[in-house]
């Protein structure tokens, strides 16, 4: 398995809500299982062993798709958001919270747009943040242990984004698309 050493992540401001993007490659035993067409559940159990203990909002990129870890199991996107709302990053307008995406792998946010998943708000802005527009490249930073990571820090959401779910597309050698929701 060629998964890089897991970082502790960036030093966060108290108003930042982070999402760790974890890329799992299919090498070693996992690659052999995939080549042998093992049942998907067995493959996912093996892949889950290589992601540590992510938060429900963290995104695991495996087999060209985004996943979330829920109760020790990798769950598929976007179905997981319907089954467990805690897998959606929630950013508070009132508290002026800010999203912070980070990874040990280089990435960039390529698009942020309203999601087709509920909740949706009539008249919500196409872009949830008060300033900036994609592409938003991951900036190189050092975590507290000196490990290089890539970080995208966003400004607070706009008032009109409250209640709307947004799709965040990022590129990490391939296009990936998790969700985020603005809250009061």
Tens place of pLDDT per residue across the chain (184 aa):
444 578 999 999 999 999 999 999 877 767 778 888 888 888 888 888 889 899 999 999 998 889 999 999 999 988 898 899 999 999 999 999 999 999 999 999 999 999 887 778 999 999 999 898 999 999 999 999 999 999 999 999 999 999 999 999 999 988 887 666 778 7
Copy the structure tokens of residue 90: 């929630």
Domain contains 133: yes
37 within some domain: yes
Q: Does residue 118 lie within any of the structural domains?
A: yes
Overall domain count for the chain: 1
Examine residue 26 and state whether it is found in any structural domain, yes or no. yes
50: Cβ contacts below 8 Å, ≥ 6 apart: 1, 3, 24, 30
Confidence at residue 21, expressed as pLDDT on a 0 to 100 scale: 95
Q: Is residue 68 part of a domain?
A: yes
Q: Where are the beta strands (DSSP E) in the chain?
A: 16-24, 59-62, 65-70, 73-76, 89-92, 98-103, 108-114, 136-137, 139-142, 148-156, 165-171, 175-176, 179-183
Does a structural domain hold residue 35? yes
Give the pLDDT confidence score for residue 4 in this predicted structure: 56
7 found inside a domain: no
Question: Looking at the domain assignment, is residue 3 inside a domain?
Answer: no
State which residues form the domain around 48: 18-183
Q: Give the pTM.
A: 0.89
Residue 2: the pLDDT is 44
């Amino acid at each position: 398995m060629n998964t890089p050493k897991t970082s502790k992540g960036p030093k966060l401001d108290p108003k930042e809500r982070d999402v760790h993007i974890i890329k799992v490659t299919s090498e070693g035993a996992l690659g052999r299982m995939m080549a042998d067409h093992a049942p998907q559940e067995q493959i996912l159990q093996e892949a889950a062993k290589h992601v540590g203990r992510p938060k429900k909002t963290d995104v695991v990129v495996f087999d060209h798709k985004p996943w979330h870890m829920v109760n020790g199991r990798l769950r598929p996107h976007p179905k997981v958001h319907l089954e467990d709302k805690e897998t959606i990053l929630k950013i508070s307008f009132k508290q002026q919270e800010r999203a912070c995406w980070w990874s040990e792998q280089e990435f960039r946010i390529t698009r942020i747009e309203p999601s087709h998943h509920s909740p949706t708000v009539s008249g919500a802005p196409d872009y949830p943040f008060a300033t900036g527009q994609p592409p938003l490249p991951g900036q190189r930073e050092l975590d507290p242990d000196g490990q290089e990571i890539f970080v995208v820090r966003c400004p607070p959401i706009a008032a009109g984004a409250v209640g709307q779910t947004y799709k965040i597309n990022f590129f990490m050698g391939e296009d990936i698309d998790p969700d985020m929701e603005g809250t009061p």
